[in-house]
Chain A
Amino acid sequence: MKRLFEDIGRYCQLMMRVFSRTDNRRMLWRQVPSEMVKLGTDSILLIAIISIFMGVIMTMQVILNTENPLLPRYTTGLMLRDTYLLEFSSTIMCLLLAGKVGSNIASEIGSMRVSEQIDAMEIMGVNSANYLIFPKIMGLVLFMPILVTLCVALGLIGGVGVAAFTDMITMDDFVYGLQYAFIPFYFTYSVIKSIVFGFIISSVSAFYGYYAYGGALAVGRASTNAVVKSSIIMLLMDIVLTDLMLT
C-alpha cells in the first residue's frame, strides 16, 4: 500500500517534469512525427485486422443469439454500432495498444535508463523526462482519433460484409439498424476516452521505463509492469469516464 502511494507520488513528479521546462522546442517537436509513426501508424495493421474480424464475428454472434421473434431484426446493426462506438473502439482497442505500444515505450526508455543514456542527458543539463516522454505522449494522443475512426469504420464494414455475403441478415435490416437512434455524441465520447487512454498508456509505460534500475532484467520487468498497470488504470478510468459522461 505504501508502495502504491510512493509510485503515485513519483508518477506525478515525473509528469510535472515532462510538462515543465523544455530545453529546445525545435528539437522536441521534431521528434513528434517519428513517434507518431512508431506508435501510431505502425499499429494500424494490428488494429485494422482485429477491428474487421471482430466486426464480422460479433455480427454473426448477435444474429445467432437473438433469434427471437420479439426482437426486431435491426437489433444486430444497432448493437454492433453501439458496442463499437462505446467500448470497442476505445477500451478494447487501447487494451490491445497497451500490449503493443506500452511495452515498446517502457523497454525503449528502460534500456536508455540502464545503459546510462538518460544520465548522459541529465549531465548535459537536458530535462530528459521532457525530451524523451513528451514526444511519445503527444505522438500517441494526437494519433488516437485516427485510430478510433479507423476502428469503428472497419468494424462496421465487417458487419456490412456479413450482410452482403451471407443470408443471415438482409442489407436493409442491417443498415437500418446502423442508423437507428444514432447519438452523435457517442463518437465524441469514444474519441475523448481514447485520448485519455492514450495518455495513460504512454505516460504510465514511460514511468516504468524511466525508473527501471538494474540490467536487462529490469527492462523486462518494466515492460511487463507497463502493460499490466496501464491496462488496470485504463479499466478504472473507463468506469469513471462512463459515469461522468453518459449518466
Chain B
Amino acid sequence: MIEVKNINKSFDGKQILYDISAQFLGGNVNQIIGQSGSGKTVLMKSIIGLFKAESGEVLYDGRNLQEMTEKEIKILRREVGMLFQGSALFDSLTVLGNVMYPLEMFSSMTRIEMEKRAKFCLERVNLIDEKHHLFPGEISGGMQKRVAIARAIALNPKYLFCDEPNSGLDPVTSLVIDKLISDITKEYGITTIVNTHDMNSIMETGDHIILIKSGRKAWEGSKNDIFEEGNQDLEDFVFASDLFKSIRKKKTENNNQ
C-alpha cells in the first residue's frame, strides 16, 4: 500500500500540486485521472521521489520516503517498476538487453538465468522471440510499451507505476496493455498506480480512481461510482465526449421513468 499525505509541489515558484492526499491499495489498479497538464505526471514522479515535494509525506507500506537515507531509497527502488509516458527504453540496447538491464545491474543471477528471466517477462507481454534482438527504434510504439512493461516487472516489483500506458496506441492494443497491467497486478498483488485520461481504460481497469483538476484532488472513487456521483468536476471530465453524454442522457431518462 502506498499512502500519500498532503503533497505540495511547485516549480520555480509556480505551484503545480496542492495538498494532495490519497491511499493506493495493493493488488489494485489505482488510477490518477485528469486532463492533460493537470499534474498527473508530476504527482506520480513526486510519489516515486524523482521530484522532491516541498511538503507532505509518501509512505510505502509505512516506510516514509521523505525520511529515508539514500541507501534505503536505493533498496526501495529495487521494489519499484515504472512505465514512462514515452516508454524510455535505452536506445543503445536491444529489446532483450533492455529487459536484462535491471537484472544485470542488481541481481546476482548468471547470464543464462538472466536471459531466461528476461525472456519470460517478454513472453508475459506477448513479445515473440524474433523481436528480441531488434533495437527500440526498430519496433512499433505498442511493442515499445510492452517491452517497457517487461523491463518494469523484471525484478518482481512490489510497486508498479505506469504513466499513460496507452497514449498514442490504437484501441485494441490499448486494451491489451490495460489488461496486461491489470492481470500482472492481480497475479502478483502489486500496488499499481496508473496515470490516464483514457475513458476506456478507466472503465475497464479502474479499481480505485482519483481525479486531479489543476493540481487539486477533485474526486475519489471506483469505476462503478463514476456514473452515479454528482460531482461537477468529475462530470466535466467524464462527459466531455458525446458518447458518454448520450449515456448520461439515457441514464437520467431511465431514472425518471
Contact = CB atoms under 8 A, between A and B. Distances in A.
Interface stretch (A56-64, A120-128, A161-169, A199-207): A120-128
A117 B105 contact: no
Contact of A24 (B50, B78, B105): B105
A125 B106 contact: yes
A23 B71 CA distance: 12
Interface in A133-174: none
A124 B50 contact: no
B193 to A, nearest CB: 13
A126 B101 CA distance: 10
A24 B104 contact: yes
Contacts of A116: 84-86, 88
A124 B105 contact: yes
Given A116-B84, A122-B50, A23 B89 contact: no
Interface of A is mostly: helix
Contact of A27 (B84, B105, B161): B105
A73 B157 CA distance: 76
B135 interface: no
A29 to B, nearest CB: 13
B183 interface: no
Contact of A124 (B73, B86, B102): B102
A115 interface: yes
B82 interface: yes
Contact of B91 (A23, A117, A122, A124): A117
Residue among A23, A124, A125 with the highest chain B CB neighbour number at 10 A: A124
Contact of B88 (A23, A24, A115, A126): A115
B63 to A, nearest CB: 15
Given A125-B74, A125-B77, A125-B78, A119 B106 contact: no
Contacts of A24: 104-106
Nearest to A125: B77
B94 to A, nearest CB: 15
Contacts of A120: 82, 84, 88, 90
A21 to B, nearest CB: 8
Residue among A24, A27, A125 with the highest chain B CB neighbour number at 10 A: A125
A123 B152 CA distance: 10
Contacts of A115: 86, 88
B80 interface: yes
B153 interface: no
Contacts of B4: none
Contact of B89 (A117, A119, A125): A117
Residue among A24, A112, A116, A119 with the highest chain B CB neighbour number at 10 A: A116
A169 to B, nearest CB: 50
A23 B78 CA distance: 12
Nearest to A28: B105
A123 B50 contact: yes
A18 to B, nearest CB: 15
A117 B90 contact: yes
Residue among A116, A123, A125 with the highest chain B CB neighbour number at 10 A: A123
B29 interface: no
Contacts of A123: 48, 50, 77, 80-82, 161
A119 B87 CA distance: 11
Contacts of A119: 45, 50, 82, 84, 88
B77 A124 contact: yes
Interface in B86-143: 86, 88-91, 101-102, 104-106
Contacts of B90: 112, 117, 120
A115 B80 CA distance: 19
Interface string B167-182: 0000000000000000
Contacts of B102: 124
Residue among A23, A120, A122 with the highest chain B CB neighbour number at 10 A: A120
Nearest to A117: B88
Contacts of A126: 105
A194 B86 CA distance: 39
A23 B106 contact: yes
10 contacts: A24-B104, A27-B105, A119-B88, A122-B50, A123-B50, A123-B81, A123-B82, A124-B102, A124-B106, A125-B77
3 tightest CB-CB pairs across the interface, nearest first?
A125-B77, A116-B88, A120-B88
